[in-house]
Amino acid sequence: MSMEIDRCEKTLLDGWNLQNETIFIGWKQPREGWFKLNCDGAHKSSIQLLGCGGLLRNNDGICVSSFARKIGSCDALHADMWGMYIGMNLARRKGVTHLQVESDSKVLVDMVTGNCKVNGRIPTLVKRIRDLKNLDWQVQINHTWREGNRSVDWLANFSLTLNSFDLHTYETPPRELQSLIFYDFSDACMPRSVRLVP
């Protein structure tokens, strides 16, 4: 799996004069009639524990549902996969028909959308995500930077503190999360230094 990830991330940059530029990144509301699912995984290497979280919001930026789940032992990419799969399944069960999915795992987004060729066996969770995406609803899956995924990063890390491996869903977000959701709604942005490719 690690070799496949390396192939996904590899870009041909040799010989290019790269420059850095600061951009400002924040959460953006989906267009009218759409919902947005932000999902993420988290891990605590000291105890080999992983978890995931997700946040489903409507086009007004209002949280419709959120979730957190402690997963156990796997790699970080699979934690991200679990977050996307659980979140999409939750949105589907809530009757969402137009869904925009955002993850800060570029590798996962490329694997699910087919922008990355996976040699060998495709992970089962990627197949399940693709199957969900291909049902009778409109789904867009996009990459976002970590700075645009702060609220769900909190949920993913919160999952590591849960007392069980059950799925925990919240119609009202935990109090500590509400301020981050407010910042998202207020168009708060954070700086990020990125490389410009000519």
pLDDT tens for 91-142 read 999 999 999 999 999 999 999 998 887 778 889 999 999 999 999 999 999 9
Q: 86 is in which domain, residue-wise?
A: 29-184
CATH number, domain of 114, equals: 3.30.420.10
pLDDT score recorded for residue 6: 47
The answer to the question of residue 89 being in a domain is yes
DSSP 35-68: EEEEEEEEEEGGGTEEEEEEEEE-TTS-EEEEEE
pLDDT score recorded for residue 163: 92
pLDDT tens for 179-196 read 888 777 766 555 556 665
Q: Distance of alpha carbon 43 from its chain centroid, rounded? A: 14
The answer to the question of residue 196 being in a domain is no
The answer to the question of residue 177 being in a domain is yes
Domain count, the chain: 1
The answer to the question of residue 37 being in a domain is yes
The answer to the question of residue 117 being in a domain is yes
The answer to the question of residue 112 being in a domain is yes
pLDDT score recorded for residue 33: 95
The answer to the question of residue 2 being in a domain is no
The answer to the question of residue 3 being in a domain is no
pLDDT tens for 6-54 read 444 444 444 445 677 765 466 788 899 999 999 999 988 777 789 999 9
Mean pLDDT over residues 55-79, rounded? 92
pLDDT score recorded for residue 56: 97
- 4 has a pLDDT exceeding 50: no
